[in-house]
Amino acid sequence: MPPSAAPTPAPAAAAPASPTAADSTLGKAVAYGTQYDPTLLFPLPRQAQRAALGLAGERLPFTGADLWTAYELSWLTPRGRPQVALALLTVPCESPNIVESKSLKLYLNSFTMTCLESADALRAALVQDLSAACGARVGVKLILPEAFDAQPIRELAGVSLDRLDIDCDRYDHPTPDLLGAALDEQPVTETLVSHLLKSNCPVTGQPDWASVQIAYTGPQIDQAGLLRYLVSYRGHSDFHEHCVERIFTDLWTRCQPIRLQVYARYTRRGGLDINPWRSSHPASLPSAVRTARQ
């Protein structure tokens, strides 16, 4: 198949009214095209899941972003020579939509036989198409092969909850009544980490594995209860972004911190990892440094 000409970035096609993941290509057999096609992107509204958490309207108790890493990205030069790069995508949590991950994989794959003048032309197409799909400007950074060996691998910093030798027996759904904090004592500032967060894709049932970092100032959170709470997601079905927002909301409500940040690094699937970060206050984005499992 001959390569296509360089694309003119175009907005993604409008999704069906009130689309759901069941309307997308997720969990369905599809042909992988190799010609640039922004209509492959499938937006999913955030609001339905947020309404289930009692987050109605435009005012949210957090700010933040979803940090995506795309590991399978390739295109052609005008002379037909393949190029590769990693892409770091930053989707603001205020965006009305997320992009369904399989549709993003299909979209990225559509550049495979597409000729582009430069990596900058690719970045411009990604910014325009993804921003149109999400309803807010999406940040895009390309990492070219000469910078691959500068990409570090390290774990999330913090005190490990996994050191606790506890019994666990809640696995079917998130159980916020396991959470507790010393509300009558002086506030503390600490950062806690666990590698035991696991949930399931709500469409395919495939497991989603993650490490999670919780940084807060406020009444000291009961660590054993927090670890049991995180383990209770083990049989839960939801998207990465919604799991992190549920964790944030449950901690904010039950433990009454003064400040709170929740950051999860999920293992990749289909050449993509999704890493949501939510903060109660304006703060710098966490570094997009992959963990050993990613």
Residues tagged active-site = 201, 208
Q: Residues 250-254: contacts with CB within 8 Å, 24+ apart? A: 250/174, 250/176, 250/179, 251/179, 251/214, 251/216, 251/221, 252/61, 252/62, 252/280, 253/176, 254/176, 254/177, 254/179, 254/180, 254/181
E-assigned strand segments in 145-235 = 159-160, 188-200, 207-218
Asked whether residue 240 is marked as a ligand-binding residue, the answer is yes
In terms of Cα–Cα distance, which of 113, 116, 101 is closest to 70? 101
Return the amino acid letter for 54: G
- Residue 63 CA to residue 43 CA, distance in Å, equals 20
Asked whether residue 99 is marked as a ligand-binding residue, the answer is yes
254 touches 225 (CB < 8 A): no
H/E stretch holding 63 reads strand 63-76
Asked whether residue 101 is marked as a ligand-binding residue, the answer is yes
Asked whether residue 117 is marked as a ligand-binding residue, the answer is no
H/E stretch holding 143 reads strand 139-143
Tokens of 189: 């500032």
| Binding site residue list for NADPH | 101-102, 269-270
Task: Give binding residues as ranges.
Answer: 99-102, 240-241, 269-270
Q: Which residues are annotated as a binding site for substrate?
A: 99-101, 240-241
